Each structure stands twice: as C-alpha cells, then as structure tokens.
Amino acid sequence: MWATLDQVIDRLKQGRNVCVIGHAKPDGDAISSVAGLVAILERYGIAAAGCIADQLPWYYRSLPGTERISTPDKVRGQSFDTTVIVDSSDLSRIGGAEVLLGGAPPDITLDHHRTNEGFGKLDYCDSGSAATAMIVLEISRAMVPLDEELAQLLLLGIATDTGFFKFANADAEVLARAAELVQQGARLQPIASAVLEHRSLSTLKLLGRLFDTIQVREEGKLAYGWVSEGMLRETGCTDQDTEGFVGEIRALHEVEVAVLFVESPPGEVHVSLRSKSYVDVSEVAAALGGGGHARAAGCSLHVERLQEAVDQVVAAVAQAIRESS
C-alpha cells in the first residue's frame, strides 16, 4: 500500500528487530541504503541487521560501515518484527534473501524506480529521488543527528546512482544534500577510488575484448556490445568485473542508447540499458521483465544462446529509438 514517508518513519520507530534487505547483485545505492538505514536504526536504539543475497563486490568492503551487511544464511534463524526492502523495484530483485520474509510481504519498501508497482504493506517510492540513499537521508533527519560515519555511508549511494554527479538526475537537491554530507565529514575521494579505480589488469583486458564486439545501429544512436561466458572464462573475470562497462559504450559520440549484454552463468544474460537524453529505457526493460529508470535500466533473460538475447533486445531498442525521434 502506498504510504507517506512520515507513515514509514512511524512504522520504523515501532520496530524492535528490523531486517533491512537490498537487491541482489548490489550496486553502491543498495549497499549505501541498507548499511545507512541499519546505522540509523542502531543509533535510534532499535536492533537491526542488513542483508543482501550476493556477496558485495570486494571493492566496497574497504568502505567503513559496509560490514553491517551480511548474507541471508548469516541472519536466517533470527526473528524480526519488521522487514524493510530498499532500492528494489519488485520482490524478485532481492533474490535469495526472500527466505527471510517467510512468505509474507515486506513491512516496508523504500525505492526510487519508476517501474515499482508497490509490493509491501507500506510502500514509499519517489521516482524523483536520484537515489534510495536520498530517501534514507530524509529518514535520518527525522530520527537521529547526522554524524560522519552515517554521512559517509549515504554519500556512497548518492554518488554512485548519479554517476558521480554527472547524470541528468544530479540536480540542485542532489548537490545540496551531498554538500551537507561533506560538511558533516563525508569524503568523496575514498568512494571514487573504491568504485572507479579498482580494475585489475584482467578486467581491462576483458574491456578490450568488449570493445571488439561493439556494433552500431540506427545511424549511430544505438550501440551495443557483449561479454560472453567464454570471454569471462578466458580472461579470468566474473560478471562483477563488468560494472561500469556499459558507461564505456555510452561514451560513444552520437549514441542515445547503449546496451551491454553479460552472459553469466551460461543460459542467463543480464542486459544493461543506458540512454543519454530522450529514450525511456525503463519501458524497454519493463517490457522484457526487468525495470529501472528512464536513463538506466536492466533485465535478465534466459536464453539458449547469447545471440538470441542480443537480437531480441536490439530490435526492441531500435524500435524505441524510432518511436521517440
């Protein structure tokens, strides 16, 4: 049921044992929102645990506060009177953490994806928020004083979901909130270093292989490339190492939509869609069973061969470009 943020805050304050869950294959915003909300609840005097189905990519672990997040097997067996799902547009996004709900809907969901249709007892989704961490920051104002550790945790989600303050969602509100966090002692440099400068030599080699696959269609407006299971194996990389690759395709001049296909494990293809200014890729992703935002969306497809996923998605994106130009 859609709720106001005040209703969500009132419900949170009634919790005694809260479990905060983020989406599988976590990004900076999921990590920031889970660890940030757990830190807020702890400071307020409420016991809380953070949980994400997949291991965090290793480079986030250097950021203080992320140790508040564990995997479902670590918190299973604990009893919770309140469950919260953050940064997830539907229940399937939390993957294996669903066991913690015991078949019940989550008590609270907090999100900013425009494709979210609401799936909790109390749902708050503001698609005008650049990051779920912006909503968690709003919650913190109503519950606890902002301190340096909390500010650092929340800056992570705001920085990563705005592409380090360069995407179209990096508006005055984002910059003002980020400035406030920095004033409280948060630092951007360790976040930028962890998230943007962690590539290994094998990851760079994989990126080189991706560049060799790039194809351009629709007079340069559509560019796409893929990372096959074989390419991962041959370079000694995992799908986690492809974070940020789709941005390299979007960097092409004249491109409106960039698409990255990552096959992992065999038979499963994760599709990342990014647009620059006018194509709503969340609609394309939603039609394929995924979701996201107007300028960044994704979906996962089950196919026999990678090429099937490529053909299907490229046709859908090409049509979306023709319809919007």
For residue 246, what is the DSSP state? H
* Residue with smaller CB distance to ligand AMP, 120 or 291: 291
Q: Which does 297 bind (CB under 5 to 8 A by kind): Mn ion, ligand AMP, none?
A: ligand AMP
Q: Which stretch binds ligand AMP (CB under 6 A): 168-176, 206-214, 225-233, 296-304?
A: 296-304
Residue 297 binds to ligand AMP (criterion: CB under 6 A): yes
Print the binding letters for residues 218-237 with ligand AMP: x by CB under 6 A, - otherwise. Answer: --------------------
What does the block give as tokens for 192?
């930028």
Question: Order of strands across the sheet with 215-217?
Answer: 215-217, 222-227, 257-263, 268-275, 296-302, 291-292
What does the block give as tokens for 237?
């990389």
Minimum distance from residue 40 beta carbon to Mn ion (Å): 17
Minimum distance from residue 223 beta carbon to ligand AMP (Å): 15
- Contact by Cβ (8 Å): 62, 190: yes
- DSSP, collapsed to helix, strand or coil, labels residue 220 as helix
- Contact by Cβ (8 Å): 264, 229: yes
Print the binding letters for residues 99-138 with ligand AMP: x by CB under 6 A, - otherwise. Answer: --------------x-------------------------
User: Among 114, 115, 98, 140, which residue's Cα sits nearest to residue 5?
Assistant: 140
- DSSP, collapsed to helix, strand or coil, labels residue 67 as helix
CB atoms within 10 A of CB 236: 13
User: CA neighbours within 13 Å on the CB side: how many for 77?
Assistant: 4
What does the block give as tokens for 170?
């990096």
Q: Which stretch binds ligand AMP (CB under 6 A): 103-111, 166-174, 287-295, 316-324?
A: 287-295
In the list 152, 169, 272, 275, the residue contacting ligand AMP (rule: CB under 6 A) is 272
CA gap 317, 171 in Å, rounded? 27
What does the block give as tokens for 270?
């994760």
In the list 30, 186, 223, 288, the residue contacting Mn ion (rule: CB under 5 A) is 30
Q: Which does 30 bind (CB under 5 to 8 A by kind): ligand AMP, Mn ion, none?
A: Mn ion
Cβ density class 266-293: b for 16+ within 10 Å, e for less: eebbbbbbbbbeebbbbbbbbebebbbb
Q: Which does 290 bind (CB under 5 to 8 A by kind): ligand AMP, Mn ion, none?
A: ligand AMP
Minimum distance from residue 291 beta carbon to ligand AMP (Å): 3
In the list 158, 299, 301, 306, the residue contacting ligand AMP (rule: CB under 6 A) is 299
Minimum distance from residue 87 beta carbon to ligand AMP (Å): 7
In the list 300, 303, 312, 318, the residue contacting ligand AMP (rule: CB under 6 A) is 300
Q: Which residues bind ligand AMP (CB under 6 A)?
A: 89, 93, 113, 272, 290-293, 296-300
Q: Which residues bind Mn ion (CB under 5 A)?
A: 27, 29-30, 87, 132, 161
